[in-house]
Chain A
Amino acid sequence: MDAWTPELKIELEEAAYQIRRLSIEMITYARWGHPGGSLSMADILAVLYFQVMGIDPKNPKWEGRDRLILSKAHTSPALYAALALKGFYPLDHIYTYCEPDGLEGHTDMRRTSGIESSGGPLGMGLSVAVGCAYGLRLKENPRSRIFCLMGDGELNEGNIWEAAMAAAHYHLDNLVAVVDYNKVMAKGFVWNLMGIEPLVDKWAAFGWDVLEVDGHDLEALSEVFYRARWTQPRGKPIVVIAHTVKGRGIEMAEFNYKWHTHAPEPEIADAMLRALSHRYNRPELGYSKLGDEREKETFYGGE
């Protein structure tokens, strides 16, 4: 894991910006997707993929790599963007999102290089991550880490807590769970629909080491993942509760459940991306496929 430097900060900011930009590009082009949760985890992915995780795009199944299980698989656009930026496949491939044989709407490990598991139904990823972490231990691979990125709403699922219990029972300190705590689920605020607080106490009571962080502060994320990876492990699994803003980076989507599942119209996407470039002090850049719209499918009136 690279040390924190001004150059690294610039690189991570650029990665976070591009993950956001490409997420909106692919969701708009596919006319389907989950912008809110893709944007909220962009900074987490930037730090993980561009600083923390040991991975090799040329050798995606390298045994010594770190693995990331995306439990909140509906926000795959952000992960697809990160993998494209890392060179797992050409950037243009993102425009196959939600097409047959392209990037799957959720995640398909058999079809996409760099994707470690197939998912979609919420609440299932942590169990898979526990299996991987246990497997690494059986293989006597002490170096690789399993990261499991979860949403906050999916913590309503019982399966998560079965897995949490097992991870602590087996002292899986090679497992780092990350909660993208953006406070918003599909149809409203988490605290309104099914509250998950006190979240720190819950994880602690299940036997985990809990770290809290501002999930949009790149340096703080870098620090917390350094701890989780190198200095904290002591026979307990670690959960990083990353406080984030749903839709972060695009004002109209921020903290707004209406942008949980909603593809912007091309003109709206264009305005969103221009605003995003201003926010990141980048040259103004709109939606790249604005003049290149595919016919809207009318089969059965579907989108």
Chain B
Amino acid sequence: MAGNNPTRSLEMRDVFGQMLVQLGGEYPRMLVLDADLHTSSKAGYFKSSYPDRFLQVGIAEQNLFGISAGLALEGFIPFPCTFAAFATRRALDQVAISICYPGLNVKIPGSYVGLPTSRAGTSHNCIEDIAVMRSLPNMRVADPGDNADMRTIMRAAIETEGPVYFRVARYTFPDLFGSEHSFEWGKGEILRPGKDVTLFGTGMMTAFCMKAAELLEKEGLDAEVIHLASIKPIDWEMIANSAEKTGCAVSAENATIIGGFGSAVAETLAETTPVPLARIGVRDRFVTSGSIGDLFRIHGMLPEDIAKAAQMVYAKKTRRTG
């Protein structure tokens, strides 16, 4: 987490902004649209590099996505940049019908996701975006785990025809992947093999899963950690195979557990390999203002909480199998 990580690097949103510039150099048809948030979202990097391909629409998110649809119709690749809360709650109809229904080539970054969004509070702490975006036909959804992941996801987004939603967390997160990292839609990655319990993480929560695995090791549990940045499509095979091996699982997401990543994991397990599962994430509550540490404590989303949940599902499994 920001502040106490000795290998601290760039904030994820800065990497996002820089990657916009890099892709902009490679794709002349790429455009960035802003609704008066470019210094927060870091879309401003693109504005400085390619002012002619940067479009300001003012504080009007429905218009932001409608205009993006029109630009995509004319063959451009628009990145409408706003906070996740507004991309989902304010402009969902435009995203669903103007963009997803015809499968237009629009790439939607959702900024300020989940708990770590400074102290903006309930209105800006978007917890439902994974659930909402995942339910739209034609939409792909990804939540990067670190900066290398952010870069590869953005590249995959622009290389993939059709609508994409990806999350951009605000802060600095520990590096999980090296420079050789790759991303593929519908493919997970085993970060730590184990045999007793699987921890499925997406986005920044995968780093917490890794910490939880260390805590569990001290307790004598061998946890497998799987990173699923691609939430839709999701890696059914990897989820099923791991659950088959470990027999119990925990999912962790920086979002509501209702309909989101945990639900996607639960759906997969229920239809392939039913095993005891616990989901870590926001539990049917709004997320108020607060320090990042306080919020993760209040919502029970710290590595310790993941480890506790892992022990619980492990105990369930053991009771079942004797």
- Chain A: residues with CB nearer than 8 A to chain B? 67, 69, 108-110, 116-121, 124, 126-136, 138-139, 158-159, 162-163, 165-166, 169
Q: B93 an interface residue at 8 Å Cβ cutoff?
A: yes
Q: List 20 A-B residue pairs with CB atoms under 8 Å apart, sorted by A's residue number.
A: A69-B70, A108-B101, A110-B102, A118-B98, A119-B98, A121-B97, A124-B62, A124-B98, A127-B62, A127-B65, A128-B66, A131-B73, A134-B70, A136-B74, A138-B31, A138-B74, A139-B74, A158-B62, A162-B58, A163-B63
**Residues of chain B with a CB closer than 8 A to A108's CB:** 101-102
Q: Are B71 and A118 in contact (CB under 8 A)?
A: no
- Once A159-B94, A166-B57 are accepted as A-B contacts, the answer to whether A118 and B66 lie under 8 Å apart by CB is no
Could you tell me the distance in whole angstroms from the C-beta of A39 to the nearest C-beta in chain B?
25
- Chain B: residues with CB nearer than 8 A to chain A? 31, 53, 55, 57-58, 60, 62-63, 65-76, 78, 93-94, 97-98, 101-103
**Residues of chain A with a CB closer than 8 A to B63's CB:** 127, 130, 159, 162-163, 166
Closest 6 CB pairs between A and B?
A131-B70, A127-B66, A135-B74, A162-B63, A162-B60, A131-B67
**Chain B interface SS verdict (over half):** helix
What residue in chain A is nearest B78 (Cβ atoms)? A131
- Once A127-B94, A128-B73, A131-B69 are accepted as A-B contacts, the answer to whether A109 and B60 lie under 8 Å apart by CB is no
Q: Are B60 and A124 in contact (CB under 8 A)?
A: no
Q: When chains A and B are docked, how far (Å) is the Cα of A134 from the Cα of B101?
A: 22
From A117, A130, A158, give the contact of B67 (CB < 8 A): A130
Q: Are B102 and A131 in contact (CB under 8 A)?
A: no
Q: Are B69 and A127 in contact (CB under 8 A)?
A: yes
From B53, B69, B75, B93, give the contact of A128 (CB < 8 A): B69
**Chain A interface SS verdict (over half):** helix
Could you tell me the distance in whole angstroms from the C-beta of B245 to the nearest C-beta in chain A?
42
Q: Are A117 and B76 in contact (CB under 8 A)?
A: no
**Residues of chain A with a CB closer than 8 A to B65's CB:** 127
Q: Are A166 and B60 in contact (CB under 8 A)?
A: yes
- Once A134-B55, A162-B62 are accepted as A-B contacts, the answer to whether A118 and B70 lie under 8 Å apart by CB is no
**Residues of chain B with a CB closer than 8 A to A163's CB:** 63, 66-67
Q: Are B98 and A127 in contact (CB under 8 A)?
A: yes
Could you tell me the distance in whole angstroms from the C-beta of A188 to the nearest C-beta in chain B?
24
